[in-house]
Structure 1
Amino acid sequence: MSTPALRSRVSIPALGRVGTFVVLIVAAALTLAPVVWTLITALTPTDAVMHTTSVGFAAFGDVFTKIPVWLYVWNSALVTGLIAAGQMISAAMAGYVFARYEFRGKKVLFGMILATMMVPLQVIIVPVFMLVRGMGLADTLLALVIPALPTAFGTFLMRQYFLGLPDELGEAAELDGAGPWRTFFRIYLPLSTPGLAIVGILAFNYHWNEFFRPLIMTISEQNFTLPLGLVTLQGNLGTGSVSTVLAGVVISMIPALIVFVFGQKPLREGLTAGAGK
């Protein structure tokens, strides 16, 4: 026969699970609501003359007729791919040096690198633009790639990852006659693949959706990235079709969604491996 104390002990965990379930539902709804609204609006364009609403992919066709979508996709893919690959290389090399080598001013230099993470992009965009213009790279895709190759977060992440790898591996390689470069490329770099996956995936997702830097660095339409090119769908004074604009947004979401789906496993493995270390 159950007692009030026993019923209270049983009900408290049950209430906790219900509360957790409710919180997760609310969080999921708040996260997915803008995406669902965007997709529904893109699939139900409204005729501005007849004031009728139809269901279909007409708005997506308007996107391809009003702007050179494939050019913008190519520019975004090229810029994002080069940045992701460059950040993986620079983060791996810098993180390895900070993790495995001792030199004067190491802690100060690493602290200065981490301090750059607290500086907003809006603060340094003007000096960066002046440097890019001085190099003769203004209004080019390289103006978007070169300044983004160093990554403070990636350096920190790879340093922590390399610190978790055993020193005995490098010592054994040195005993076998391997130099510093060979030890790095043949021993430690293959073991750091999960960490590199995190750096690459995060860099791709961030720079694929980047709007502010392309807005400042590029002027010519042939150098626009996809997020910047989608702005032209708004038309003069924002009078463009909302369904067409949101259809372009849906198109821009597809590559990031593909990368997330296929990169979810290495990203999860990298995070769990880092936590285990």
Structure 2
Amino acid sequence: MRKWWIYLLLILLVLFVIGPFIWMLSSSVKPEGEVLSQVPHLFPSHFEWGNYVAAWKSAPFGHYFLNSFLISAAETLFDLTFGAMAAFAFARIEFVGRRVIFVILLATMMVPGEVLLIPNYITLTNLNWINTYQGLIVPWMVSVFTIFLMRQFFLSMPQDLFDAAEVDGCHPMRTLFGIVMPLAKPIWITAGLIKFVGSWNAFLWVMIVANSPNLYTLPVGLVNFSSNVGTVYNQLMAAATFSVVPLIVLFLVGQRYFIEGVARSGIR
């Protein structure tokens, strides 16, 4: 009976989590008058698949998709590269103050991101990077969480592997990218998924830095779309639906590595 109560609680939690998503899918194919009806219905009276076409044509979503992909891919690539190098140094290279520096680095994760908005904005203003791609990408090229995640895995690898690489004359960079990273596939896929999803969903920073619609990503584009068309909710839900499809596909493809990476990095 205890297991049944646990399963029941988990089912309720799942319904609570996926409820908004199901409602978004349902509203995306409803006629306009049924979305805000006084008596809500989960299923539409008839399916309006044209909502997706109308939403796509109402705003330059193709450009928004391209910006989101370029910015997210660039941030993820730099984050995995620099994160792996820093994690390898903290895990396998002895230097003075290694533990102190790592603790200070971890402490920065406790600082809310909103606190950094003004200093970062002032820095970008002095660099003339406002309303540029580098202004959107450079401040987020390194993630402390990625460093922590990879360091935990690197510490769990056998020391004999690194000793053999050193005996063979491998430089630390060659050891990292030639030996360690191929063995750490679940970890860098996990870190890449987390970083890519975070970059894809980023809203506040893009809203502040990007003054031109040419630099808008999907989250900002959805807000702009809602303002321009006067919030036609069925089209807005359709736009929100096809904006999350790439993330769903990406997670389904890397799901096995994501779970394995979290388990093997020591985060339970």
Q: Which amino acid aligns with 1:116?
A: T
The equivalent residue for 2:176 is 184
Matched, 1:106 2:121: no
> Offset of 1:179 from its aligned partner?
2.1
Q: 1:267 corresponds to which residue?
A: 258
Residue 144 of structure 2 is aligned with which of 152, 167, 170? 152
Q: Which residue of 1 aligns with 2:120?
A: 128
Counterpart residue type for residue 73 of structure 2 = G
Report the AA paired with residue 239 of structure 2.
G
- Tell me, yes or no, if structure 1 residue 209 matches structure 2 residue 201: yes
Deviation at 1:200, TM superposition (A): 0.1
Residue in structure 1 matching 2:132, options 121, 125, 140: 140
Following TM superposition, the consecutive aligned residue runs of length 4 or more in structure 1 with deviations greater than 4 angstroms are: 51-54
Deviations 1:167-188 (CA, angstroms, capped at 9, x unpaired): 1111112212222222222222
For the residues of structure 1 that align with 2:63 and 2:261, how far apart are their CA atoms? 33
Greater CA drift, 106-115 or 176-185: 176-185
Aligned residues: 259
Indicate conservation of the 8 Å contact 1:39/1:250, yes or no.
yes
1:18 is aligned to 4
How do 1:31-110 residues align onto structure 2 when only pairs under 5 Å count? 31-47=17-33, 54-110=46-102
Gap regions ≥5 residues in structure 1: 1-14
Which of 105, 115, 118 lines up with 2:107 in the alignment? 115
For the 8 Å contact 2:150–2:265, the answer to whether it is kept is: no
For residues 178-220 of structure 1, give each alpha carbon's deviation from its aligned partner in whole angstroms, at most 9, with x where no partner exists: 2222222222222222111111001111111111111111110
Letter in 2 for 1:260: F
Q: Is the 8 A contact 1:158 1:196 kept in 2?
A: yes
* Structure 2 residues not aligned, in runs of 5+: 38-43
Question: Which protein is bigger by CA-based radius of gyration?
Answer: 1
Which AA in structure 1 matches 2:5? G
**What's the CA shift for 1:33?**
0.8
Cα distance in 1 for partners of 2:255, 2:241 equals: 20
1:96, 1:159 within 8 Å by CA — same for their partners in 2? yes
Question: How much does 1:122 deviate?
Answer: 0.7
Q: Give the 3-state SS of the residue equivalent to 2:265 in structure 1.
A: helix
